Structure 1
Amino acid sequence: MGQCPFFPKPHKNKASLLTTFLLKRRSWLDGLYEKSYKMKSGQVKMPGFDLYIVNHPKDVRRVMVDEVQKFPKSNWLHQLLKPLLGESIFTTNGGVWQKQRELLRPSFEQARITKVFGLMNEAVEDMMKKLSRYPNGAIIEIDEVMTFVTADVIFRTILSQKLDESQGKEVLDAFVVFQEQTVHTAIRKMFCIPQWISYLLGERKRMRAGDTIRRVLADIIKPRYDAVSAGKGGEYEDILASLLEVIDPQSGERFSFEEILDQVAMLFLAGHETSASSLTWTLYILSISPQEQEKAYQEIYEVAGEEILTLQHLRKLKYVSNIFKESLRLYPPVGFFARTAKQEVKIQNKLVKEGSGVVVAPWLIQRHESYWKNPHEFDPSRFEEKNVIQKDTYLPFGMGERICIGQGFAMQEAVLILANILRNYQLKLQENFVPDVVGRLTIRSANGMQIQFTQRKN
C-alpha cells in the first residue's frame, strides 16, 4: 500500500456563487467538491463567465489535440499574464504562436539542453554548498531553497549569469506578489468587479511586480542584444545565444528586443516556478516515504557512487525519474489549462457557448478514480516500463502541439537536483507539519515546506 500525501479535502457539495467568491479568492482548489474528482465534465456559472471542466480522456484529446483550433489558449489568461509575459508563446495563438514555437524550438532541442548541463550543474553545486552550511538535522524551509535554485538554473542556462542573493530576492518577492494578485484579479474579472475597483484592490501592485521582473531581465538582455546587433557577442553558449541567433526564414529577421524579453520572461515563469513547485512536492512526498527514499538512494549510489553526477548517470536513474513522474501526477505544477470555445460545441451532454471558458484540469484528471487505482496514493511503480499509462490521463506538461517545449530540460534538472539531495541527506517532514495546498498560477504550499535534513554517512 502506497503513502497517501496530503491534498485539500473537497467540500461535500458544490458551493454557492457567494461562497465561491469568498473561497476562490485565495485558491481555485478551495472551490472543488467531491464530485469534481468523479465527474466526466462540469460547469461553473459566474456572473461574467461560463466555465466548462473537461475530465473525460476522449474530450481531453478533442480539446488538446484533435480539434485544437476550436479551443485556442484563453485570451482572458493572456490579458492576465501580459504584464509579465507580454506576447509570449505561453498565451499567444495561431500564426503568432506557430512562428514563436518554431523560433524557440532549436533552443530546447536535446543538443542545446546537453550543452547547458554544465551551467545547470553549477547552480546545483551552489545549492548543495548552501545546504551544507545548515547544522546536521536542521529543519529547512525547502520551498525557498527550491525556488531560488530553479531561478538560478534559469538565469545561468538562459543568461549565463549567476543569480545573486539580493537580485534573487527582488525578483522572487515580485513573483510571489504577481502570483497572489493574479488570482485575485481573475476572480474579480469573473464577478464583473469594475476595473477601477480592481486597480485600488491590488491590480497596481500586480503591474508593478511584473515591471520589476521584466526590468531585471531587460538589464541583462539589452547589452547582449546590442552586441549581437553590432556583429559581436558570440562567446556565449546559453539559451539566450540561441534566441539571439535564430532567424525567421520567412522575414529573414531576428527576434526584436521586445520579443526576446517576452520569451525570456515566459521561460523564467515556466522554467523556475513550475520546477520549484514540482521539486518541493517531490521532496515533501519523499520526506513521508522512507522506503521509497532509501530505494532511490540505493539506485543513486549504485549508478554513481560518490562521483560527480553526469548526464550519463542521470539517464540511468530510472527510479528517481519515476518518483518525479509520480509526484507530477499528484501535484501537477499547472493544475489547469485554460482554453476558449471559438464556436458553439457540445461536450458530453453540455452545450458550450461560443466564448465560454473550457478547462482541462490535470489536478482532477490525474486523481480521477475512474482512470487511476488508489488515485491519491504515492506509487512510483505506476511508471515502470511494464505498466501502461492510459492515454490522455497523464498530462503534467500538457499534450498535443502545445506540449511544454522545456519538458526535457525540466526532467534533466529535476533528476539532477533530487539525486544530489538524496545522495547526501535523509529527509523527514517536520513533526505535525501539514502543507497548505493552494492553486494559483501553479500549485504551491502557502505555508512553505518544513523538512528535516540529516546528513548521510556514506
Structure 2
Amino acid sequence: MKTCPFHPKPHKNKASIFTTFLLKRRSWLDGLYERSYKMKAGRVKMPGFDLHIINDTKEVRRMMVDEVEEFPKSTLLHEFLEPLLGVSVFTTNDEVWQKQRELLNPSFELTRVNKVFNIMCDAAKDLIIRLNKYDDNAIVEVDEHMTFTTADVIFRTIMSSKLDEKKGKIVLDAFTAFQDQTAKTAIRNMFCIPHFISMILGERKRIQAGETIRKVLSDIIKPRYDNYKDGEFEDILSTLLTTIDPDTNERFSFKEILDQVAMLFLAGHETTASSLTWTLYILSMAKKEQELAYQEVLEYFNTDELDINAIKKMKYLTNVFKEALRLYPPVGFFARETRNDCQIRDKMVKKGAGVVIAPWLIHRHDDYWENPHEFDPTRFDRPIKKDAYIPFGLGKRVCIGQGFAMQEAVIILAHILKNYELTLEDGFVPDVVGRLTIRSANGVNIKLSRRK
C-alpha cells in the first residue's frame, strides 16, 4: 500500500469573497476547494485584483515558453519582494531581465556541480555533527536544520563564508517573518485595504524583516566591495565584483550586487530547504522506500567520503526527491500577468489581470497523474506527461539553479540516510501552508535513530 502524505483537505465549495479574505491571509492553500484540483482554469475576482488560475498544460506552455513575453512576471510580485530582493533578476522583465541575466552568467558558471561538490559535502558533514549532538532516538524538528544547512551552502558558494549559528538565526527568523507578512500584505492589497492600515497590521514588520536580511548580507559584501583584490576569492561574489557592463563600461554598483546576492540567497536556500524537509517527512512514513534509498546509499557511499560519481548513480534516491518535489513543490505558484487583452481557453482576459500557474495543483491533477496524492518514486521510471511536472518552471526563465539544487539535495539526503533511520513522531501532522514557498508552519518532527 502506497504512502499518502498529508495535504490540506480542500473545501467542498468555493468560498465567498469575505471567507477568501480570511482564509488566504494565512495561506493561499487554505482557500482551495475540491474543484481547484479538477479544473483546467479558474478565476478569483477580488475587489482590487482579477486572478486567473491556469492548470491546462497547453496554456502553461504557451505562457511560460511560446508566448512568454505576453505573460511577464507579476508587477505585484515585484512590489511584494522588493524590500528583500530589490531590483533583481527574479522579478524583472524584458530588456532589464535579459541584461541582468547576461551579466550574471559568469556567476552561474560557479554553481556547476563539479565546482561546488566539496562545499556541499562539507556543509552536509557539518549538519551530521550538529544532529549527532542530540541523544539517540531524539525527536528533532528537522525543518530548521534543513533551512540552516542550505543557507550555509549558499553562503559558502556566494561569499566563501560559513554561516555561523547566530547570523543564521537572525536571517532565518527574519525570512520566516517576511514570508508570513508578505502573504498577509498581498491579500490586503488585493482587497484594497488602505496602505496606512496595512502598515499598522504588519507591513512595517515585513519591511524591517527584509532590511534585517539585507543588513547581514551587506556586512559581508561591503568590505569586499570597497577593498576588492583580484584573485583573493573564487566565488560568486568575486564574479559579481569584476563583471563589467558593456554598455556603461562600469561594474555593478553596491546596491545592484546586494540585490542579486539577496536573490541568489533566497532562491538558492529557501526552495531546497523546503523540498528537503518534505522529503524527510515522507521518508519517515514510507519505511519501504526509505529502506530502498538507504540500501542504495550504502552501495555507493560506503566510505567516509562521498564521490561525485556516486551521486550520479543514486537513481532511486534522486527519484525519491523528484517525487517529493511533485507532492510539495517549493514554489507552489508562479505569478504572471497579461500584457494585453487575450483569450485563455474560452475566456477573454483583460490586460493587467493576474495569472497564476500552480505546480501544487498541476502536480496533483487527475488528468496528468495516476493516484496523484500518493508517494510513488517509481513513477519517474516511466514517461511522465509533458509540461505536467514543473517544480523548477519552464522555458527561458526556468530555475537556473536546478542542477545545483538536485545535487545538493541528494548529497544531504545521502549523508542523513547513511547515519540515521527516520521515524515520524507519533501523532504528528504538518500544518501545510502556501506562502512564497510551501512550508509546514509547525515544522516537521522526526525521530532520528542512529544507524549501527
- What residue number does 2:294 align with? 297
1:234 aligns with 2:231: yes
Deviation at 1:389, TM superposition (A): 1.4
Structure 2 counterpart of 1:421, one-letter code: I
Q: Unmatched 5+ residue regions in structure 2?
A: none
Q: What TM-score, normalized to structure 1?
A: 0.97
- Give the secondary structure class of the aligned counterpart of 2:251: coil
**Contact kept in structure 2, 1:115 and 1:237, CA below 8 Å:** no
Deviation at 1:73, TM superposition (A): 0.1
1:446 aligns with 2:447: no
Deviation at 1:112, TM superposition (A): 4.1
Q: Unmatched 5+ residue regions in structure 1?
A: none
- Give the secondary structure class of the aligned counterpart of 1:153: helix
Deviations 1:52-79 (A, max 9, x none): 0111110000111111111000011000
Deviations 1:221-276 (A, max 9, x none): 11112223xxx142212221222222334433322211110011011111111111
Cα distance in 1 for partners of 2:418, 2:274 equals 21
Structure 2 counterpart of 1:429, one-letter code: L
**Contact kept in structure 2, 1:180 and 1:440, CA below 8 Å:** yes
Q: What TM-score, normalized to structure 2?
A: 0.98
1:424 aligns with 2:419: yes
302, 307, 329: which one pairs with 2:326?
Answer: 329
Number of equivalent positions: 452
Structure 2 counterpart of 1:382, one-letter code: R
310, 316, 323: which one pairs with 2:307?
Answer: 310
Cα distance in 1 for partners of 2:186, 2:348 equals 24
- What residue number does 2:262 align with? 265
Cα distance in 1 for partners of 2:125, 2:116 equals 15
**Contact kept in structure 2, 1:49 and 1:357, CA below 8 Å:** yes
- What residue number does 2:38 align with? 38
Deviation at 1:110, TM superposition (A): 7.0
Structure 2 counterpart of 1:455, one-letter code: R
- Give the secondary structure class of the aligned counterpart of 1:116: helix
Deviation at 1:155, TM superposition (A): 0.8
* Greater mean alpha carbon deviation, residues 166-175 or residues 436-445: 166-175
- What residue number does 1:48 align with? 48
**Contact kept in structure 2, 1:116 and 1:238, CA below 8 Å:** no
- What residue number does 1:349 align with? 346
- Give the secondary structure class of the aligned counterpart of 2:43: strand
Q: Structure 1 residues 335, 380: closer, same or farther in 2, change over 3 A?
A: same
- Aligned pairs for 1:185-264 (under 5 A) are 185-228=185-228, 232-264=229-261
Deviation at 1:111, TM superposition (A): 7.0
Deviation at 1:179, TM superposition (A): 0.6
- What residue number does 2:134 align with? 134
**Contact kept in structure 2, 1:36 and 1:42, CA below 8 Å:** yes
- Give the secondary structure class of the aligned counterpart of 2:39: coil
Deviations 1:117-163 (A, max 9, x none): 22222221111100111111000000111111111111111111111
- Give the secondary structure class of the aligned counterpart of 1:140: strand
- What residue number does 2:10 align with? 10
Structure 2 counterpart of 1:197, one-letter code: I
Structure 2 counterpart of 1:274, one-letter code: T
Deviations 1:264-291 (A, max 9, x none): 1011111111111000000000000011
Structure 1 counterpart of 2:242, one-letter code: E
**Contact kept in structure 2, 1:322 and 1:380, CA below 8 Å:** yes
Q: Structure 1 residues 6, 426: closer, same or farther in 2, change over 3 A?
A: same
- What residue number does 1:20 align with? 20
**Contact kept in structure 1, 2:87 and 2:259, CA below 8 Å:** yes
Cα distance in 1 for partners of 2:349, 2:336 equals 12
Cα distance in 1 for partners of 2:248, 2:289 equals 53
Cα distance in 2 for partners of 1:249, 1:111 equals 23
Percent of aligned pairs sharing the same letter: 67
**Contact kept in structure 1, 2:51 and 2:354, CA below 8 Å:** yes
- Aligned pairs for 1:364-375 (under 5 A) are 364-375=361-372
Deviation at 1:313, TM superposition (A): 1.4
- What residue number does 1:413 align with? 408
377, 381, 400: which one pairs with 2:378?
Answer: 381
Cα distance in 2 for partners of 1:111, 1:342 equals 33
Deviation at 1:304, TM superposition (A): 2.0
- Give the secondary structure class of the aligned counterpart of 1:375: coil
